[in-house]
Structure 1
């Protein structure tokens, strides 16, 4: 078993701080042009990852209150970045999707971070990237792990051909 001293853990914490700051810098600048912040980015990201996302599911992913989500989601809907529709089986449900305008902004946000991720992954190499994914998974609570697993399982399904 790997023995880690407190100083090594503090260095890891420092590195996570700087990595997140630097990864988010370009996206933060772009969001500021629209009067948005990181909460708007997270909301756009998760709706893009799962079109038709239920509001309740988004609340669980973000770990915020309905009131906080309303402050974030309201402007995104009013300004035409997110559309909401009632659920098919339960009309009380609100399903969220990105509009064309919202998908364009989310794509720009992703692109603002994509190159930094690519460079870091290339520098680290495949085994390090896999190790990094395991570390991130270890930092993630079970609800987040389950959600990521469901996204990966959905992506791994072969496309259905025919009826």
Structure 2
């Protein structure tokens, strides 16, 4: 297929609408827990990259310290997160999910994972390999350090 035959405007719009649908699944569950999207993003990335420092989390989320502070403190108070000393740099701490935090993340993520599995099957890509390749190339534009840490 040549480049002219691909409707990039349509693909951009589809990407936007797909993201909205993907996010809505989690957003509905987030509301049930009385947390915001920022809380969810913190849980999500700490679950997939345990041991992030606060500065690394700021980079991953692309938000300010001020925007992170309140939701982070709330998650610590709920005992969904815990911080531990950073052995490599005593000036910082590493962030981990507690068992309760892992459970909340799993509940919110499960619906998204199931929908993703269904769509991969419907599109003839049951392993999601083509989608993963496209998303990896996009993600590389933000740097590969964090991509390689995803568990």
SS state of the match for residue 3, structure 2?
coil
Structure 2 distance, partners of 1:130, 1:93, is 37
Preserved CA contact (<8 Å) 2:120 2:126: no
Greater RCO, 1 or 2 (C-alpha within 8 Å, sep 6+): 2
1:114 positional shift: 1.2
Q: Assess if the C-alpha contact under 8 Å between 1:84 and 1:95 holds in 2.
A: yes
Which residue of structure 2 lines up, in the alignment, with residue 151 of structure 1?
149
Comparing both structures, which one devotes a greater share of its residues to helix? Answer: 1
What is the Cα deviation at residue 145 of structure 1?
3.5
CA distance in 2, matches of 1:101, 1:145: 30
Counterpart contact for 2:46–2:97, Cα < 8 Å = yes
Q: 2:55 aligned with 1:60, yes or no?
A: no
How high is the TM-score relative to the length of structure 1? 0.80
CA RMSD of aligned residues (A): 2.4
Separation of aligned partners in 1, 2:51 and 2:127: 34
Aligned to 1:161: none
Divergent runs of 4+, >6 A:
none
Unaligned runs of 5+ in 2: none
Q: TM-score, normalised by structure 2?
A: 0.86
What SS is found at the alignment partner of 2:84?
strand
